[in-house]
Amino acid sequence: MRCRVCGVVGVRPFLDLGKMPLSDGLVRPENLQGPELTFALEVAFCPNCAMVQILQDVAQEVLFPEDYPYFSSFSDQLLAHSRRHALNLVETRSLSGDSLVVELASNDGYLLQNFVELGVPVLGIDPAPAQVKAANDKGVRSICRFFGLELAEELLAGGTGQAEVIIANNVCAHVPDLNGFVAGMKALLAPGGLITIENPYVRDLIDHCEFDTIYHEHLFYHSCTGIARLMERHGLHLNHVEYFAELHGGTLRYHVSHQAGRTPELEAYLADEAATGVDSFRYYEGFAQRVEQLRVDLRALLSSLRAQGRTVAAYGAAAKGSTMLNYVGIDGDLVSFVVDRNTHKQGLHMPGTHQPILGVDALVEQRPDFTLILAWNFKEEIMGQQRGYTEAGGQWIVPVPHPEVIAS
C-alpha cells in the first residue's frame, strides 16, 4: 500500500475495525429496511513520513452530502474555545478592517463570527451547503467549495487577496489530497501571515484507546512529527504547538508560517515523540488488542445491566458514536435510544445499529437508568447540562479509556 502523503510503498496496518457504515450516515425512518453502505476501516502507519492513515477511500461527495448533519454551533465548549482563539488572534496579530481571515472547513460560521463582530473581514470555505447557508445568514461571508491549490489560485486571481491568518480546525484529518490542501494554504497565506491548524493528537488516540475517533471522514491522525514533515515538503514551517487536553479527547494547535522559528515548546514535543516512538511503528503495535479488550468490557457491562432489567440510553449521535456502537455491537437491545442537542439529527436513526435519535429532554422524560456518553469528548459539558437527569437518579457510562460508571 502506498502512503497517501509521501507516496512511499510500505505503510504498515495496525488496527482493523472491519466494515463500517458511514459515521454521519444517519438513517431516515423510511429507509430503515433498505440497504446500507459499509466500507472497510483499517488504520496504518507510514514509516517514512510518520503519517497515520486509513486505507479505504470513500468519495468526498458521499462523505459530505447536501444533508450533512454536523453543525459546530451546538457545542458550547467548542464555541467558547473558538472565541478565545479568535480574540487572541485579533490581539496578537493586530488584525483590523484591512486584514483578511480565512477559515477552511468553516462550517456554520461558529468561529468566524467572532472576527465579524470585531470588524475583521473574513472568508469561510466549506463543502456543506446547509452549513454555508447558515454562516451567510448570520453575516459570515462563506462559499461552498472544497479547498485546495486550484481554489486558492482562483481566489487570488479573482482579487480576494492573501490572508493574514488562515485557520484550519479539524479538517486536515478529512482531506484526501493533503498535499494539495497544504499547497493551497501556502499560496493563500500572506508573506508574514500565520496558519493555525487544530486536530486531535494521535498520541491521545493511542494512549487513551480513543479508537472511536477513527472513521471514514478521518483519513489522517496527526502528530507534531508528521505535521512538521508535511509542512517542510511544501516549504512551510511548523514553529509552535499548543495543547488542549479537554478538547476532542486531546487536541494540538499547530502554528505554521513561511518563516522558520521553532519554539522550545515545539522542540520539546518533537523530542518527546522521538523518545516514546510516536514516529515509529513499534508505538502502534498492541493497540488492536487494547481496543478489543475495551469492546469486550463495554459489551459485558451493558449486557449485565440489561440482564438486571436496567434501562440504557446514549448521549451524542456523533460520528465517534457510530464507530463505538457498530464495533462493539451495541444494538437496540443494549441501548434503546440516543439523544442529541442537534435538531438536524433528531428524528433520524444511528447508522448500522438504528437506534432512534431524540431530543435531550427524553433523558428526563424517559429516565433511563444509565446513559452511555458517546460524545465523551464533551462529557463535562453534557453532564453539566443534564443535571436534572442526574438528580433524578440517572447514571453515566464513559466508554474510554475504559468503561466506567459515573453517578454524577
- Tens digits of per-residue pLDDT, 131-161? 999 999 999 999 999 999 999 999 999 999 9
Q: How confident is the model at residue 74 (pLDDT cuts 50, 70, 90)?
A: low
120 contact partners, CB below 8 Å, separation of at least 6: 90, 95, 96, 97, 99, 101
Q: Hey, CA dihedral for 72, 74, 77, 81, is it positive or negative?
A: positive
Per-residue cell: 176: 484526501
* pLDDT of 244 over the 70 cut: yes
Fold held by 72-283: Rossmann fold (3.40.50)
Q: How confident is the model at residue 73 (pLDDT cuts 50, 70, 90)?
A: low
Q: Where in the chain is the domain with CATH 3.40.50.720?
A: 309-406
What pLDDT score does 408 carry? 60
CATH of range 309-406; options 3.40.50.300, 3.40.50.10360, 3.30.70.360, 3.40.50.720: 3.40.50.720
How many angstroms separate the CA atoms of 353 and 331, rounded? Answer: 5
Task: Outline where DSSP puts E strands in 272-394.
Answer: 312-315, 338-339, 357-358, 370-373
Enclosing H/E stretch for 101: strand 101-104
Beta carbons of 160 and 179 less than 8 angstroms apart: no
How many angstroms separate the CA atoms of 8 and 31, rounded? Answer: 42
* pLDDT of 49 over the 80 cut: yes
Q: How confident is the model at residue 65 (pLDDT cuts 50, 70, 90)?
A: low
> For the purposes of burial, counting CB atoms within 10 Å of the CB of 33, is it exposed (0-12), middle (13-18) or buried (19 or more)?
exposed
What pLDDT score does 371 carry? 97
* pTM, to two decimals: 0.89
Mean pLDDT, all residues of the chain:
94
Enclosing H/E stretch for 16: strand 12-21
What pLDDT score does 77 carry? 81
362 contact partners, CB below 8 Å, separation of at least 6: 313, 337, 339
The predicted model gives 221-247 an average pLDDT of 95
Amino acid at 6: C
Q: Where in the chain is the domain with CATH 3.40.50.150?
A: 72-283
165 contact partners, CB below 8 Å, separation of at least 6: 89, 93, 95, 99, 100, 101, 102, 193, 194, 195, 196
What pLDDT score does 57 carry? 85
Cα 168 → chain centroid: 12
Phi, psi for residue 36 in degrees, rounded to 5: -130, 125
Task: Outline where DSSP puts E strands in 213-352.
Answer: 220-221, 237-244, 251-257, 312-315, 338-339
Amino acid at 215: Y
Q: What separation, in Å, do the N-terminal and C-terminal C-alpha atoms of the chain show? A: 47
What pLDDT score does 47 carry? 95
Which single residue is written with the C-alpha cell 468490557?
297
The predicted model gives 178-207 an average pLDDT of 97
